[in-house]
């Protein structure tokens, strides 16, 4: 691992792990959840409030920051953390997923991905070398390799081709990455095929990275398939490096992934759901536009320290029904706080040697709210 970085495994309970990731911008406990600040901003929540939720590490996106405002501006501001006024560790996703999901007229060759910006149609390119240059200029504590992402379901030959290209790109990223105060993570690909996942993991391990991510999940494959893929992948990753599941997810998914040995998570759900009046509690989901909350004087959740829970449900519902922007802001803050409280509870249970009991109880409680709308 690069100087200034370390990952210390502090406790384990079955497959679940509790650890500490140290970076040049401080250390964070794992399991950890990273709020998504795609453009160096967590949607609707100022950085001070993000800190109050208990977040220790934030994720931003190299694709978006490269297009706007450009990595040179972020670099001139002193790097990503300084640019957004954050004092803790940061991570940048390489932008591979966004290139293939957002960009226009994408052409993939062995050299890289060539496309037109989804913002203004300007031609742009992402190669492994270019991705490393951009992420090193952005200056997050952790950078991700560039990988080739394909939509699922897909033919095995397509998934296999993309996985092996991702490994070749990982080798090029490893050579091109030279910033000593930034860690580089590899990304395991291979769809839902356990043999392809094993091959990807073992080849990335042979290259050598500071941490390893599992990509290409949370794309509609279902929780059972996700867990099966994680279980077939984890034995082939080193136990002394952090493991990051990208883009996941629902609270139940996080619990299952921690049980499988994952340490790090990110997802847009806390703020996306908050903007749409859906909040998470340890008794299940609450949809604030529901008429039954019109006279509900309870807070969203007893014992929650967030600013939203200083108000009652009838007031929060009123904000949404009246179209007041404060409603989405407060709901987002609550959801971000909930996710931090969730991973903190999982960590405490691992340390105490009672993860299985805590996870089982949480899963029962989380199903106690409203059923999702069809």
Band of the pLDDT at 220, cuts 50, 70, 90? Answer: low
Domains, in order of start, for the chain:
6-267 (3.20.20.105), 276-366 (no CATH)
Question: Is 75 marked active-site?
Answer: no
Active-site residue, from 8, 46, 93, 193: 93
Residue 118: pLDDT over 90? no
pLDDT score, position 10: 98
Q: Is pLDDT above 80 for 31?
A: yes
Q: Is residue 374's pLDDT more than 60?
A: no
Query: For the segment 333-360, what is each residue's pLDDT rounded down to a tens digit?
Result: 999 999 999 999 999 999 999 999 999 9
* Adjacency order of strands within the sheet including 243-245: 32-35, 264-267, 243-245, 211-214, 183-188, 142-144, 90-93, 58-61
**Measured distance CA(351)–CA(180) in Å, rounded:** 32
State yes or no: is 93 an active-site residue. Answer: yes
- The region that residue 21 occupies, defined by phi over 0 for left and psi between -120 and 50 for alpha, beta otherwise, is beta
* pTM for this prediction: 0.95
**pLDDT averaged over every residue in the chain:** 94
Q: Are 53 and 305 in contact, with CB atoms under 8 Å apart?
A: no
Minimal CA–CA distance to 367: which of 288, 262, 255? 255
For the ranges 103-112, 154-163, 315-324, the lowest mean pLDDT is seen at 103-112
The region of weakest confidence among 74-88, 127-141, 211-225, 286-300 is 211-225
Question: Looking at the predicted structure, is the pLDDT value of residue 104 above 80?
Answer: no
Per-residue pLDDT tens digits for 253-275: 999 999 999 999 999 999 999 99
* Confidence band for 373, pLDDT divided at 50, 70 and 90: very low
For position 370, what pLDDT does the model report? 58
Which pLDDT does position 371 carry in this prediction? Answer: 42
pLDDT of residue 223: 85
Specify which of 115-124, 140-149, 214-223 reaches the highest per-range mean pLDDT: 140-149
Catalytic residue among 13, 147, 263, 266: 266
Sign of CA pseudo-dihedral 160, 161, 163, 167: positive
């Amino acid at each position: 691992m690069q100087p200034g970085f370390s990952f210390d495994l502090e406790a384990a309970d079955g497959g679940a792990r509790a650890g500490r990731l140290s970076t040049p911008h401080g250390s964070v406990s794992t399991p950890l959840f990273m709020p998504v600040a795609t453009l160096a901003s967590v949607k609707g929540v100022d950085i001070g409030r993000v800190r109050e939720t208990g977040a220790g590490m934030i994720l931003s996106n190299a694709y978006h920051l490269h297009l706007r405002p450009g990595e040179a501006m972020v670099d001139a501001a002193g790097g990503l953390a300084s640019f957004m006024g954050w004092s803790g560790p940061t991570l940048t996703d390489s932008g591979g997923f966004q290139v293939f999901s957002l960009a226009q007229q994408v052409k993939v060759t062995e050299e890289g991905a060539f496309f037109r910006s989804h913002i203004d149609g300007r031609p742009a390119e992402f190669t492994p070398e270019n991705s490393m240059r951009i992420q090193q200029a952005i200056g997050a504590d952790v950078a991700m390799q560039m990988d080739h992402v394909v939509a699922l379901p897909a033919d095995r030959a397509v998934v296999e081709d993309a996985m092996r290209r991702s490994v070749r790109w990982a080798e090029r990223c490893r050579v091109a990455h030279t910033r000593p105060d930034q860690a580089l993570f590899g990304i395991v690909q291979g769809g839902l095929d356990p043999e392809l996942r094993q091959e990807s993991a073992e080849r990335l391990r042979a290259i050598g990275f500071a941490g390893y991510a599992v990509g290409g999940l949370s794309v509609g494959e279902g929780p059972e398939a996700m867990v099966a893929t994680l279980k077939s992948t984890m034995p082939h990753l080193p136990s002394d490096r952090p493991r990051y599941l990208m883009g996941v997810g629902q609270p139940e998914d996080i619990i299952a992934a921690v049980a499988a040995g994952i340490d790090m998570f990110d997802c847009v759900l806390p703020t996306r759901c908050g903007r749409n009046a859906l909040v998470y509690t340890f008794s299940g989901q609450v949809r604030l536009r529901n008429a039954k909350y019109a006279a509900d004087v309870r807070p969203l959740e007893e014992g929650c320290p967030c600013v939203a829970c200083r108000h009652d449900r009838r007031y929060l519902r009123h904000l949404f029904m009246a179209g007041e922007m404060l409603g989405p802001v407060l709901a987002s803050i609550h959801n971000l706080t909930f996710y931090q409280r969730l991973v903190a509870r999982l960590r405490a249970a691992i340390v105490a040697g009672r993860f299985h009991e805590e996870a089982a109880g949480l899963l029962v409680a989380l199903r106690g709210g409203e059923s999702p709308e069809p």
